[in-house]
Chain A
């Protein structure tokens, strides 16, 4: 509508102003003219009630009538910008702080990312002299900070109390016990390397000399220090340097997975496995060689070149045999009376002699390690061998250790117990109930209100390390800073604050850490030093100095004399190994969804633990996968379901600790879904027990396994060879699969296959970026399969957990997975080796048993003899970023496309979810949001094993309700740089696009007017690459010929998975090279033998073809 100027009100008196004589006269001519000129508003000139008047009147009358609409306004919420921007803060730019995550044996030096004040990601601190990447627990610790089931309140006898009251109560306790020298006071703490703890422990010992200080860990690594102290006569702990060893013998030591410090051991081990080039001169010293003697199939056994499976009790006997042989062959002056100990084990004597021979041949570069589960005698034998092999003091560096503390049982009789962190009511229920019988007051500092929280007088919420001030020592002794990235979310306390209150000071954790720092740096706090300490995250020059010590033969012999010859287990008297779980440790991470959903690196089971046993044991006991059994030994018992695990020692059950919890939204989804509790069967602190019997209960349990299929079927997805084969034919990896048979195809001048339809980037080179082309190389020789990368990816890319029922349906969302295959003698595979009992079962579930030899069935594989002694290969698998990506051409809406830098990108906003891309991906790395996983409540999910069950609990659609605390807390862990995907959207690895972009922006800012916009090599690390302790993943710019990734792609071991599809993936792999000792029994690379057997071609000859003239051999 045309707006006409308002009519000037005419004053009643005084002069009258007019625009024209017509206006003054208000003549009909003027009215007519006005109608013409302002037809829409003309009436306003004359009408008594204009539209505006009407509106005014109506609104006034509505208000009078009480229809005022003011009440419908949104509530006023004022937001204020920073009045003053905090220093160094730019909105949207993350800040990084050095800190450290304390562990049982030390700490992991970290660089934590803070996004707008929330810690969202942790990486290894690159400045730290002994940094070694991270492990899955460190990566998942970020989620632990935002666990909605954390202890959130100070509780006095169960009811909520004030923080001040609790602190006062601690002071009162301190004053009370100061009066009687601490009589009746006991403090139970987990092991810690913190200098502040050491200082406060000393202060408490001085103030309360009669108090008991006990150290308790459910999985105790202190045996390493005890053994080293025993054989040297000094208080020392071993510091293993795997990178110096060319030959390694592990005596049930899962140093690549189950042992503390595995991330550091993995780094050092992988260093010894990497191959720069095919150096003929080095022969089989090109890489190290690992012998593993173990009962469980562990990551270490999976990476071993030779693996001997023996029951846990028999490790001592094997160790004795090996020690005897090593001492004999090395001509060492040491000798022990261990013939009786050695007698029991029935193992191939060739294994023992050849292994010993190889170790002795590498004297000075050979290392023997004994596992935390094994008794002192095995450790003593290991040290004896190390001494004979010249490793003790060199490869096994000895660092000073603190003297051992008292044990949990010593607390018995105390009137007041201060329990710091540990959860003995769950992990050592028997001992704990004994201990607490007489205790009147228990004060517990706990991260969760879990089993140990019941019946305590005071429960204090513990602060997460990302919200605490503190300090620690990494395993090499370097002091590292623990600084908070956020104020304690629930006002939790640190251990040091509790101890300080007891000791009579009111210092905060910050003050305590500073006091300790002052004492470490000469007594007076130097602010500049402190700032540097916090900035760098560590105090340089505090590394432990090695202690020189000599081997005390007499002490060792005395310990060995105590060891009895173990009896071999049998069907009636089984043995049980209790192991630290790869996902939940000793149970401390049971409520962490990322870890629960992380497939076990070996079994690939999620959200569960299992009774692992060998095929032979299962056959003899008449058990099959999923059977629930009651396990009992000497009046103790536990109940769990059976899983047949390749490579398990016979008559040995493997029970992972830490499951079967009764609280927590994640830890206790329902009574079946989070495994069973193995602790009741365990004698506190031991690694294994004997004389166990098993009885089937008749019930079954469904395991959820992300990889049902064990064998490679001879498919050259993973390519391996032995060192000698590799040296003879360094480019063997290029001679596999159909792409080795391309002689007849037309080639480009550079040797690549000429396509019928060339990629647009080739025909229009200007389309592609001339600055960056991204690519990745994964070194399969370095990858141990530890899976830290999987969690790192989950943390970086906001990947939700989907819950057990969804994984059961095959809907896990992990962008990268670690594929694990078992390989074995192909002839053994064809032998069948079926167990009749399984046939009837298999027929009922998976079909026709007549055809089992034609196609491998998932259930039947567990019954075949070949799985007894498999070789294991692992392979990280994520989006391959094909240059001619098959996913892109089939997407009807252009939601997945190529960017000019060669990355296959997802436009989530455009994705409508046809899932065609996933179908057309040969690597099956695309993941689909079948539900709105981010909006689903965490707990309460039942497993929908029933075909018709819809009551899966985890997602109720738009009608579902998610508790507010979950939204508030869990979303804080999200990376603001990455989109949170909704349902119906496909997602996958993006090469951490957000990191690429931020590095490019940073480089552009740096370049300024200059043209130097190419990101420098190493400036971008993908999340998986950064987390990898083995440094197995390289990422970078392929246009930079000197970049690490370019150099690796030139490597003769470089190959493409499914390269024959000619999609030209940007992710390639370096073939695996094992170092199998030809003198040992079964010295073959089974995956290679399988390939040869299936395809009748030999990659070690020519170009994958069989010898000339053998037409049959060329058949594929």
Chain B
């Protein structure tokens, strides 16, 4: 707060507040003070753990352990413990990879693109969404690593280091592009998330009651004092990282879609994939953000910060991206027919009416029908309803990847080699276990780090505006 703000403003100069109908709906409800915000958000980490937290963590850790057990079995025995075969050489492994990578998209979109577009409502959801991104990328990263037949060589040969025969990795392979795309995305997302955390870590440090906490939060807060210089550097860094992340939002899933689009398989080989995948990723990402935040805002009593309006806005994003996805499904079929390639047409007919017809119709019902319920305000504002729909979005988006991968592979060009894929218990447990990893990380995050960006939320409250009637330092509150 500058000293100038402390002067009383003559009443003649005072500007009357705008009429009520022009007043924007506040981003923090009930006119909560800056101090309340700090206390409330930091309180989630500081107070005793809610009763549900430990059981939830234990369950998640068990699932995660199950996943690592399955992975150990897989690596020790062979990829054959999954249900893969010829011709379906990729199935749940890559489905899960694309699914998790897609989930990760909401975080960066919220934190980067919405930041650049000055969408202030992002502040109350971006921290959790970014964390979710990181954890989803961690889950996603596991699958391409373990799906290979000889992981011990993959780790050796995939980094771009030529071996002693001068052989580099194959730069024409989309799988290598994946390595770069996903690792870049993961790194930048982590930096972005961590940069945003620094002021809040300092808050946590300042509030810490035990020495250990003080030391640890202090260590990671990098000596943040909240000086002008710090804030100036911070804002610059944040803006730069937002600029860096923005193209990544588009590039990662475009490149993941190249895994399919670059091949020559009917059903994979289509140019629509990059935009369609990005839209689908944002769609699924927002679905997952809502799946997590809708219960959390009640459980952690965050209704005033993560308001119904926030949920509604995110539902609108789901509606928009869901419509793009639905359009892409239709367009795929149109092109398959209009393109005149009988093999492609057969592949799409087979998707809808072949042996995997059920997975296709699962996908259509979840991804095309369910988001359109959000045209209705009631649907967007009823939290139970939103939660259920987002669950369907998650299911639908998993099936989308399953449909693309498995139905295209199981019947391609030559009928003699057609086959069928069935998952084994290892497939199922590995996938279910990956939710355990995701939830474990998320539960630890919400318990030990401020789940909502305290400083940013404060920044968008009316109190932060020195010219606002309630603004300035006069009502107290500290950063």
Residues of A within 8 A of B (CB): 707-709, 711-713, 715, 717, 738, 806, 809-812, 817, 819-821, 846-848, 851, 854-855, 857-858, 875, 877, 886, 888-894, 910-916, 918-920, 922-924, 926-932, 947-948, 950, 955-958, 982-986, 1057-1058, 1061, 1063, 1094-1095, 1115-1116
Residue of A855, A893, A894 most packed against chain B (CB within 10 A): A893
Chain B residues with CB under 8 A of A893? 153-154, 157-158, 169-170
Which one of B154, B158, B350 contacts A855 once the chains associate, using CB atoms below 8 Å? B350
Chain B positions within 8 Å of A848 at CB level: 353, 357
B150 interface neighbour in A713, A717, A985, A1095, Cβ under 8 Å:
A985
The answer to the question of B55 belonging to the interface, with a C-beta cut-off of 8 Å to chain A, is no
Instruction: Pick 28 A–B contacts, CB within 8 A, sort by A.
Output: A709-B415, A709-B416, A711-B415, A847-B355, A854-B349, A858-B418, A890-B173, A893-B169, A910-B167, A912-B150, A913-B150, A914-B147, A914-B148, A914-B175, A916-B173, A922-B412, A923-B413, A923-B414, A924-B417, A930-B78, A930-B84, A931-B80, A947-B422, A956-B77, A957-B73, A982-B150, A983-B78, A1063-B264
Q: In the complex, A911→B150 CA distance in Å? A: 8
- Nearest Cβ on chain A to B336's Cβ, whole angstroms: 12
B413 lies within 8 A of A922 (CB)? yes
- A894-B167, A930-B80 are contacts. A1094–B353 as well, Cβ < 8 Å? no
Question: Which of A926, A956, A983, A1115 neighbours the largest number of chain B CB atoms within 10 Å of its CB?
Answer: A983
Query: Is B168 positioned at the interface, with any CB of A under 8 Å from its CB?
Result: yes
Which 8 A-B pairs give the minimum distances between C-beta atoms? A913-B149, A984-B149, A930-B80, A810-B85, A957-B77, A924-B417, A819-B416, A915-B89
Q: Mark B54-90, 1 if CB is under 8 A from A, else 0.
A: 0000000000000000000100111111011111111
- Minimum Cβ distance to chain B for residue A983 (Å): 4
CB pair B85–A811 under 8 Å, yes or no, is: yes
Contacts of B349 in A (CB 8 A): 854-855
Q: Which residues from chain A contact B350 at a C-beta distance below 8 Å?
A: 855
One digit per residue, 1 when the CB lies within 8 angstroms of any chain A CB and 0 when it does not, for chain B 255-279 equals: 0000100111100000000000000
Q: Separation in Å of the A930 CB from the closest CB of chain B?
A: 3
Task: Decide if A913 touches B148 in the complex (CB within 8 Å).
Answer: yes
From B89, B179, B412, B420, contact of A892 by CB (8 A): B179
Stretch at the interface among B193-201, B285-293, B340-348: B340-348
Bound-complex Cα distance A811 to B148 (A)? 16
* A950 x B173 contact (CB < 8 A): no
Closest to B174 in A: A890
Contact A1116–B169 (Cβ < 8 Å)? no
Q: Which of A948, A956, A1063 contacts B425 (CB 8 A)?
A: A948
A1058 and B157 CA atoms in complex are apart in Å by 33
Q: Are A957 and B168 in contact (CB under 8 A)?
A: no
CA distance A888 to B148 in the complex (A): 17
Q: Known contacts A911-B149, A924-B412, A957-B73: does B341 contact A1116 (CB below 8 Å)?
A: yes
* Tally of contacts, chain A with chain B, CB under 8 A: 223
Q: Smallest distance from the beta carbon of B68 to chain A beta carbons, Å? A: 16
Residues from chain A with a CB closer than 8 A to the CB of B153 are: 893, 910-912
The minimal Cβ–Cβ distance linking B455 to chain A, given in whole angstroms, is: 42
- Write out the residue numbers on chain A whose beta carbons fall within 8 Å of the beta carbon of B413: 715, 717, 922-924, 1058
Question: In the complex, what distance in Å separates the CA atom of A846 from the CA atom of B173?
Answer: 36
Contacts of A738 in B (CB 8 A): 341-342
Complex interface: chain A residues within 8 A of B328 (CB): none
Judging by beta carbons under 8 Å apart, are B150 and A984 in contact? yes
A810 and B415 within 8 A (CB):
no
A846→B410 CA distance, assembly (Å): 14
B476 CB within 8 Å of chain A: no
Tell me which of B175, B422, B423 contacts A890 (CB under 8 A). B175
The answer to the question of B358 belonging to the interface, with a C-beta cut-off of 8 Å to chain A, is yes
Residue of A nearest to B73 (CB): A957
CA gap between A811 and B173 in the complex, in Å: 25
A920 close to B263 (CB less than 8 A): yes
Q: How far, in Å, is A1005 (CB) from chain B's closest CB?
A: 27
Residue contact B172 to A889, C-beta cutoff 8 Å: yes
Q: Is B247 engaged at the interface, CB distance under 8 Å to the other chain?
A: no
If over half of A's interface residues share one DSSP class (helix, strand or loop), that class is named, otherwise mixed; here it is: loop
Does A912 contact B416, Cβ atoms closer than 8 Å? no
What residues on B are CB-neighbors of A715 within 8 Å? 342-343, 413-415
A711 vs B113: C-alpha distance when bound (angstroms)? 52
Please give me the residue from chain A that is nearest to B86 by CB atom. A810
Contact indicator B425/A929 (Cβ below 8 Å): no
Alpha-carbon separation in the docked complex, A537 to B355 (Å): 55
CA distance A267 to B160 in the complex (A): 53
Contact A855 B415 (CB under 8 A): no
Closest to A920 in B: B263
Residue in contact with B86 in the complex, picked from A811, A851, A890, CB distance below 8 Å:
A811
Residues of A near B86 (CB, < 8 A) are 810-812, 918, 924, 926-928
In the complex the two chains form, what is the Cα distance from A1013 to B281 in whole Å? 58
CB of B409 within 8 A of chain A? Answer: yes
Docked complex Cα distance between A1115 and B87 (Å): 30
Closest to B83 in A: A809
The answer to the question of B419 belonging to the interface, with a C-beta cut-off of 8 Å to chain A, is yes
Give Cα A913 to B90, complex, Å: 11
Residues of A within 8 A of B424 (CB): 947-948, 950
With contacts A713-B415, A811-B85, A955-B78 known, what are 8 further pairs, Cβ within 8 A?
A: A812-B86, A857-B354, A889-B173, A923-B414, A930-B84, A947-B422, A957-B76, A985-B149
Q: Which residues of A contact B355 (CB under 8 A)?
A: 846-847, 855, 857-858
- From A807, which residue of chain B is reached at the shortest CB distance? B85
Bound: A847/B420 CA distance, A: 13
- A858 CB, min distance to chain B CBs, angstroms: 8
Return the contact of A847 from the options B76, B358, B426 (Cβ within 8 A). B358
Q: Which residues of the partner chain A approach B150 to less than 8 Å between Cβ atoms?
A: 911-913, 982-985
> How close is B179's CB to chain A, nearest CB, in angstroms?
7
Complex contact B149–A922 (CB within 8 A): no
For A947, the chain B residues whose CB sits under 8 A away are: 422-425
Tell me the residues in window 320-348 of chain B with beta carbons closer than 8 Å to chain A beta carbons.
Answer: 340-343, 346
Interface string of B420-462 (1 = CB under 8 A from A): 1011111000000000000000000000000000000000000
Residues from chain B with Cβ under 8 Å of A712 in the complex:
415
B263 touches A890 (CB 8 A): yes
Query: Looking across the interface, which residue of chain A has its beta carbon closest to that of B422?
Result: A947
Say which residue of B81, B343, B412, B422 sits within 8 Å of A950 (CB atoms): B81
| B77 partner residues in chain A, CB cutoff 8 A | 931, 955-958
Q: Tell me how far the C-beta of B43 lies from the nearest C-beta in chain A, rounded to whole angstroms.
A: 45
**B176 at interface by CB-CB < 8 Å:** yes
Cα separation A713 to B357 with both chains bound (whole Å): 19
C-alpha spacing A24/B277, complex, angstroms: 89
Could you say which residues of chain B place their CB within 8 Å of the CB of A890? 172-175, 262-263
Across the interface, do A1116 and B340 meet the contact criterion of CB distance under 8 Å? yes
Contact between chains at B158 and A892 (CB < 8 Å):
yes
Query: A919 touching B357 by the CB < 8 A rule?
Result: no
Q: Can you name the residue of chain B whose Cβ is closest to the Cβ of A847? A: B357
B79 & A930 in contact (Cβ 8 Å cutoff):
yes
Q: A955 — which chain B residues lie within 8 A by C-beta?
A: 77-78, 80
**Can you name the residue of chain A whose Cβ is closest to the Cβ of B147?**
A914
Which residues of chain B are within 8 angstroms of A915 by Cβ–Cβ distance?
84, 89-90, 147, 149
Min CB gap A1069→B, angstroms:
13
A-side contacts of B87, CB under 8 Å: 810, 918-919, 924
Task: Say how far A929's CB is from chain B's closest CB, in angstroms.
Answer: 7
Residues on the A chain within 8 Å of B422, using CB: 947
Query: Contacts A707-B416, A715-B413 given: A920-B168 contact, CB under 8 Å?
Result: no
Q: Which residues of A contact B414 (CB under 8 A)?
A: 715, 717, 819, 877, 922-924, 1057-1058
B149 lies within 8 A of A820 (CB): no
A614 CB, min distance to chain B CBs, angstroms: 22
Instruction: List, in ascending order, chain B residues with CB within 8 A of A910's CB.
Output: 153, 157, 167
Closest Cβ–Cβ distance, residue A975 to chain B (whole Å): 23
B175: A residues at CB distance < 8 A: 890, 892, 914, 916
User: How many angstroms from the CA of A877 to the CA of B418 in the assembled complex?
Assistant: 14
Given the complex, which residues of B lie within 8 Å of A713, measured CB to CB?
Answer: 346, 415
Q: Are the CB atoms of B78 and A957 closer together than 8 Å?
A: yes
